[in-house]
Amino acid sequence: MHLHREDTVLVLSGRDKGKKGRVIRLFPGREVALVEKVNMVKRHTRPNQQVPQGGIVEKEAPIHFSNLQVVCSKCGKATRVAKKTLADGRRARACKKCGEILDKEK
């Protein structure tokens, strides 16, 4: 899987094509992700604990992985992801455009 939580991604197709956002949730089994403020849909909901007043709530709808591309934190470009093996043997994702390692925190 080439997407991680908290990644900044570019939307490649659909209504929000060209928008960038942060991945807030991944559903690996369905190969979709929720991206902050992207692909917003209006939901009519009954009052519940999260939304005590009920009514129309805007929320993100999932987008398929194939419509998302990771934005490199170094060069700022949307890129495909290369897999690299680090000196200590860990596998990491890297930007295909500039070679920057994108998973330094792990």
Using CB under 5 A as the criterion, which residues of the chain lie in contact with Zn ion when the complex forms? 72, 74-75, 95, 97-98, 100
Alpha helices in 1-106 (DSSP H): none
Contact 24/32 with Cβ under 8 angstroms? Answer: no
CB of 101 to Zn ion, least distance (A): 10
Q: Which CB, 57 or 84, lies closer to Zn ion? A: 84
Classify residue 50 by burial, with Cβ atoms within 10 Å: 0-12, 13-18, 19+: exposed
**Residue closer to Zn ion (CB basis): 32 or 70:** 70
Q: Tell the smallest beta-carbon distance from residue 102 to Zn ion (Å).
A: 8
